[in-house]
Amino acid sequence: MKKAFSLALGQKWTTAALLFLAGLLIVGLLASWLHPFDPYEPDYAAKLQPPSLSHPFGTDYLGRDLFSRVLAGIPYSVFPALIVLGLVMIISLVLGTISGFYGGRLDMLLMSAADLFTAIPNLLLTIVIIGFLGFGMENVYAAILLSWWAKYVRIIRGLVHDVKKEPYMLASRVSGSFGFHAIRRHIVPNMMPQVLTLIILDVSRVILALSGLSFLGLGAQPPSPEWGVMLLDGKNYLQIAPWMGFFPGLMIFVTAVAFQICGERLRSRLQLN
Amino acid sequence: MLEVQKLTIRTKDNDRVLVRDSSFSLGAGETLCLIGESGSGKTLTGKALLGMLPAGLRMSGELSFGGDAMTRYGKREWSRVRGRRIGVIYQHPEQALHPAIPIGRQLSDLLRSHLPVTRHAAEVSARTMLDKVSLKDADRMMKSYPFQLSGGMNQRVMIAMALLLQPELLIADEPTSALDVTTQSEIVALLQGLVAEEQLSMLFITHDLLLAGELADTIAVMKQGEIVEQGTAGEVLRRPKHAYTKQLLNCRSSFRFAPEEGAHLYVGNQ
Amino acid sequence: MLRYAVGRLGLLLFTLLLLTLFVFALMRLAPGNPAALLLQGIGAVPDESLIALYEQKWGLDQSFVQQYASWLLELVQGHLGRSFVTDQPVTEEIASRLQPTLLLIASSFIVTVLFSIPLGIVSAIRENTLLDRVVYGGSILGLSVPLYWLAILLTLGFGVLWPLFPIIGNGSVSHYVLPVAAISLVQGAYFVRMVRSFTLEYKHAFFMEAARARGLRRRILYPSYLLRSMLIPVLTVIGTSFSGFFGAAVMIENVFSFPGLGTYMLDMIYNRDYPAIQGCSLLVAAAIFILNFVTDLGYYAADRRVRLDKQRWEL
């Protein structure tokens, strides 16, 4: 019955998305050996050139090859999202499990804090944090962490409550092996598939958020080849050199779509809501 | 009146057989009890008779109802049969009623779906029908929502709804299994009375052999998608031939509550 | 209902108080001496006497509790303090920037709701048809497209290559077309997605199947039986969308150099204008809290009847 709910994405789309992401990962790791031109060194002779064979994405206002910059930007644009979400997952696994497993006053405190942070718009929180603590990537990551942990702590707390009700948990309670052991052996492994699916579904949102912050000038700063920064450059040359903004944005878009497709596929596999 | 021949239901993707070659017939004014544990295919048989098999299933065989071949029905024909010539009641009436629409409105919507009547006329017949299923204070009932009524009351509302258009056949899918014992016998008595009064044919789906003995003219026992034994109620209950029927008769007392309660525990809907 | 409303209102006030504390504490965590920063900002050399003077002027030399209390007292009276940069009351500065932003958000909200809720419902009713597949695919794209990039593409297409609409500033209705289109497309993807999946859930709910089994006409079934159960899900989607609209507005204002609250906030960050940042963020957060409060009340009023979580889907 549930199957009918989610339109199955074709296998070929998922395969394409996975291949793209795998390629992105490899190129991202090897970026410094792969790009044809130096992504940072200006070449005023070649500035603002439209896409051509030697410069497939064109060049920017300093004559830097955009294709090289886009490749060099992978580690700055995609990897941070994964790292931040990994951190979010670890933090909320700890807090959510404690909150759901032990309950009590700590649980109440955590949940009201989570309520507060869920209610504040993510971007507003980021603006406030960067506004007061200043520019810098560590503040951006802190802001993203602060605005995402609440959602996951809640979800994980709910999952812990569900698992606690399972008959085998009752058995472990009776046999006295209730506590850290139960958490490690039963609770965490049981909810990992769901948590991971949700995390993967959120990767695109975090990628968009991070590059968006750079685009607003709050995140990565020039001359970083982070895609949001490149887009910001591109915005100013919209009328003369539209390719400057087009290709970095396209990369963000395609990457986000690929993660979204994988997340959707996982979700319909696990038949989650 | 209803003739089912070699009804077979299978899944589309891997051809798993859920109901195999089941044949039975039901005359006007008769009651047939379809007995089996959950998962035996009895509910699917009921759905097939309404043309409402889930999307992943297909059926073969002959279904004839009042002389026409239901297997050749299109959308339009089905919509003239459902509710109009065949009524249904379920195990969980409060889930079969819309939670946010008053009961009177749901009754009159049904009437207006099938007959060209005004809302007012529809409401009058709805009220009469509520009286007929012995619901007191029909006016208040018309304005109530399902969550305000007890299980037994909701089941009476369902019966009123199923019989509102004076159908020829009533399909009752475990209508008493979720009720407590007292309410159960009240509902059974009500159904018996209405069946006799309206000359109604009834397909009663249950896992309860004794209840079947009380209601049925004929009994068909289903096991894993196949009808393993069928005959008049007296024959089947007094001289069961198939080992499975004997087994059912023997453990009836403990059987009564167990399977339906347990059946959904591990389905894992959210 | 009244009891619920009062309780919920208490919670709202408590959250607001927590929020003020959070914002205020953050300011104290800020690195560097704000007075010194301020002086640097206006090009003066921050020597100690000047810093002391400025600290006194802005009350920066008092204790945390004192500062918080006096600030809160001012706040309750509607004073958000004076801008470090322009020396104008923040309240006035915000007021002059508020209207374009509100207009932008309100019109995007209306456009989004008007096209995406019907689209989500129709797509779910026509499940697995071509239309549904297109809508589903479109919503995945919409959820993944960077809003600022979409806005740039729209500008390029309809402002530069085919100059139908102005691409900068505000003033006339046509200035709003591209920003509203960009926001509505992205927010609409989220709406369509949620509404579609809620509609599917209700469409397959047992009460709908039972209604079909009694031959209820489609003309009654979908408009009345299905839509009536959609009230709560739609409220939920709307209730969770306000932050998204705000975020989208900030991005879009930046792309279109729109003189609204979003561009103001960004300017104030560059200038490290603490009172202005505080004022804006408190105002926006409070507005969103209040909107959530209102949706919660609506939700509560409608909730008593339509609850799906206890229902079983299968016979």
Whether residue C132 contacts residue C124, with contact meaning beta carbons closer than 8 Å, is answered with yes
Closest-approach residue (CA) in chain B for C310: B95
Contacts of B52 in chain A (CB under 8 A): none
Do C229 and B100 count as a contact with CB atoms less than 8 A apart?
A: yes
Neighbors of chain A by Cβ distance (3+ pairs < 8 Å): B, C
Handedness of CA C121, C125, C127, C132 (dihedral sign): negative
Contacts of A131 in chain C (CB under 8 A): 265, 268-269, 272, 274, 277, 281
In the numeric block, which tokens belong to residue C163? Answer: 């100059």
pLDDT at C163 (0 to 100)? 83
**Nearest-neighbour CA in chain A from C62: distance (Å):** 19
Does residue A273 belong to the interface with chain B, where contact is any CB pair within 8 Å? yes
Q: pLDDT, tens digit, for every residue of A167-222?
A: 777 777 666 666 777 777 778 888 888 899 999 999 999 999 999 999 999 988 88
Contacts of C19 in chain A (CB under 8 A): 116, 120
Query: What CATH architecture applies to the domain B1-78+170-270?
Result: 3-Layer(aba) Sandwich (3.40)
Closest-approach residue (CA) in chain A for C314: A1
Greatest alpha-carbon pair distance for chain B in Å reads 55
Closest-approach residue (CA) in chain B for C230: B100
As a whole number of angstroms, the distance between CA C210 and CA B93 comes to: 9
The region that residue C192 occupies, defined by phi over 0 for left and psi between -120 and 50 for alpha, beta otherwise, is alpha
Whether residue B97 contacts residue B154, with contact meaning beta carbons closer than 8 Å, is answered with yes
Q: pLDDT, tens digit, for every residue of A1-30?
A: 344 344 455 688 889 999 999 999 999 898
CB-based burial, C268-307: b 16+ in 10 Å, e otherwise: bbebbbbbbbbbbbbbbbeebbebbbebbbebeeeeebbe
Does residue C27 belong to the interface with chain A, where contact is any CB pair within 8 Å? yes
pLDDT at B252 (0 to 100)? 58
Computed on alpha carbons and rounded to an integer, the radius of gyration of chain B in Å comes to: 18
pLDDT at A72 (0 to 100)? 92
pLDDT at B245 (0 to 100)? 87
Window 45-74 of C, Cβ < 8 Å to A: none
In the numeric block, which tokens belong to residue B237? Answer: 């209950």
Whether residue A148 contacts residue A121, with contact meaning beta carbons closer than 8 Å, is answered with no
Average pLDDT for chain A = 86
**Nearest-neighbour CA in chain B from A137: distance (Å):** 39
In the numeric block, which tokens belong to residue C312? Answer: 């079983």
Q: pLDDT, tens digit, for every residue of A52-109?
A: 888 889 888 888 999 999 999 999 999 999 999 999 999 999 999 989 888 888 888 8
- Is residue A158 classed as helix, strand or coil in its secondary structure? helix
**Nearest-neighbour CA in chain C from B99: distance (Å):** 6
**Nearest-neighbour CA in chain A from B55: distance (Å):** 9
As a whole number of angstroms, the distance between CA A225 and CA B21 comes to: 69
Could you give the angle at the alpha carbon of A98 between the alpha carbons of A93 and A100, nearest 5°?
A: 95
Q: pTM to 2 decimals?
A: 0.83
CA dihedral C192, C193, C195, C198 (to 10 degrees): 160
The β-bridge relationship of strands B2-11 and B57-65 is antiparallel
Query: How is residue C80 annotated by DSSP?
Result: -
Inter-chain contacts counted by CB atoms under 8 A, chains B and C = 83
Q: Residue C250 is nearest to which of A7, A123, A130, comparing CB atoms? A: A123
The region that residue C233 occupies, defined by phi over 0 for left and psi between -120 and 50 for alpha, beta otherwise, is alpha
**Shortest CA distance to C224 belongs to which of A264, A268, A108, B119?**
B119
Q: Which residues pair with B3 in a beta bridge?
A: B25, B64
Contacts of A128 in chain C (CB under 8 A): 23, 26, 277, 281
Main-chain dihedrals φ then ψ at residue C225, nearest 5 degrees: -70, -40
Q: Which residues pair with B173 in a beta bridge?
A: B205
pLDDT at A11 (0 to 100)? 81
Best residue of C125, C149, C162 to probe chain A, by most A CBs closer than 10 Å: C149
Alpha helices in C30-146 (DSSP H): 34-41, 48-58, 64-76, 90-125, 130-144
Do C228 and B98 count as a contact with CB atoms less than 8 A apart?
A: yes
Whether residue C3 contacts residue C280, with contact meaning beta carbons closer than 8 Å, is answered with no
Whether residue B94 contacts residue B154, with contact meaning beta carbons closer than 8 Å, is answered with yes
Does residue A7 belong to the interface with chain B, where contact is any CB pair within 8 Å? no
- What share of chain A in percent tops pLDDT 90? 38
Does residue B54 belong to the interface with chain A, where contact is any CB pair within 8 Å? yes
Q: Which residues pair with B33 in a beta bridge?
A: B204, B219
Q: What's the half-sphere exposure (Cβ side, CA atoms, 13 Å) at A123?
A: 27
**Nearest-neighbour CA in chain A from B198: distance (Å):** 36
Residue A228 banded pLDDT, cuts 50, 70, 90: very high
Do C229 and B99 count as a contact with CB atoms less than 8 A apart?
A: yes
Main-chain dihedrals φ then ψ at residue B25, nearest 5 degrees: -140, 160
pLDDT at A92 (0 to 100)? 93
Do C216 and B113 count as a contact with CB atoms less than 8 A apart?
A: yes
Only one residue has tokens 């064979």, namely A53
- Is residue B33 classed as helix, strand or coil in its secondary structure? strand
Q: Residue A122 is nearest to which of C143, C147, C243, comparing CB atoms? A: C243
Long-range pairs of B10-14 with CB within 8 A, sequence gap ≥ 24: B10/B57, B10/B58, B10/B59, B11/B56, B11/B57, B12/B56, B12/B57, B12/B58, B13/B56
Residues in contact with B206: Cβ distance below 8 Å, sequence separation at least 6, in sequence order: B33, B34, B35, B174, B176, B177, B212
As a whole number of angstroms, the distance between CA C190 and CA B224 comes to: 45
Q: Which residues pair with B68 in a beta bridge?
A: B65
Question: Helix crossing, C242-255 with A188-215: angle to 10°?
Answer: 30
Question: Tens-digit pLDDT profile for chain B (270 aa)?
Answer: 899 999 999 998 888 999 999 999 999 999 999 998 887 888 899 999 999 998 889 999 999 998 888 888 888 889 889 999 999 999 999 899 998 889 999 999 999 999 999 999 999 999 999 999 999 888 899 998 888 888 999 999 999 999 999 999 999 999 988 888 889 999 999 999 999 998 999 999 998 888 888 899 999 999 999 999 999 988 888 888 888 888 888 765 444 443 443 333 333 333
Tell me the residue type at A84: V
Closest-approach residue (CA) in chain C for B173: C315
CA dihedral A31, A37, A39, A41 (to 10 degrees): 140
Whether residue B104 contacts residue C217, with contact meaning beta carbons closer than 8 Å, is answered with no
pLDDT at C82 (0 to 100)? 80
Whether residue C284 contacts residue C16, with contact meaning beta carbons closer than 8 Å, is answered with no
Do B95 and C312 count as a contact with CB atoms less than 8 A apart?
A: yes
In the numeric block, which tokens belong to residue B127? Answer: 């009220």
Residues in contact with A71: Cβ distance below 8 Å, sequence separation at least 6, in sequence order: A27, A31, A34, A35, A39
Inter-chain contacts counted by CB atoms under 8 A, chains A and C = 151
Whether residue C206 contacts residue C312, with contact meaning beta carbons closer than 8 Å, is answered with yes
pLDDT at C37 (0 to 100)? 66
pLDDT at A70 (0 to 100)? 92
pLDDT at C195 (0 to 100)? 93
As a whole number of angstroms, the distance between CA C118 and CA B253 comes to: 53
Only one residue has tokens 């839509």, namely C227
Q: Residue A235 is nearest to which of C152, C243, C246, comparing CB atoms? A: C152
pLDDT at A260 (0 to 100)? 94
Only one residue has tokens 């009834």, namely B202
Closest-approach residue (CA) in chain A for C200: A5
Do A130 and C269 count as a contact with CB atoms less than 8 A apart?
A: yes
Do C15 and A231 count as a contact with CB atoms less than 8 A apart?
A: no
Do C26 and A130 count as a contact with CB atoms less than 8 A apart?
A: no
Contacts of A2 in chain B (CB under 8 A): 269
Window 113-152 of C, Cβ < 8 Å to A: 127-128, 132-133, 136, 140-141, 143-149, 152
Do A260 and C143 count as a contact with CB atoms less than 8 A apart?
A: yes
Q: Residue A273 is nearest to which of B54, B56, B270, comparing CB atoms? A: B270
Residues in contact with A76: Cβ distance below 8 Å, sequence separation at least 6, in sequence order: A220, A224, A225, A226, A227
**Nearest-neighbour CA in chain B from C196: distance (Å):** 18
- Domain-by-domain residue ranges, chain B? 1-78+170-270, 86-166
Q: Which residues pair with B170 in a beta bridge?
A: B87, B202
Contacts of B269 in chain A (CB under 8 A): 2
Which parts of chain C register pLDDT below 70?
1, 31-35, 37-44, 46, 58, 303-315
Do C307 and B109 count as a contact with CB atoms less than 8 A apart?
A: no
In the numeric block, which tokens belong to residue C173? Answer: 């209705």
Q: Residue C306 is nearest to which of B83, B99, B270, comparing CB atoms? A: B99
Closest-approach residue (CA) in chain A for B266: A166
DSSP labels, C85-105: TT-SBHHHHHHHHHHHHHHHH
In the numeric block, which tokens belong to residue A179? Answer: 């506590």
- End-to-end CA, chain C: 35
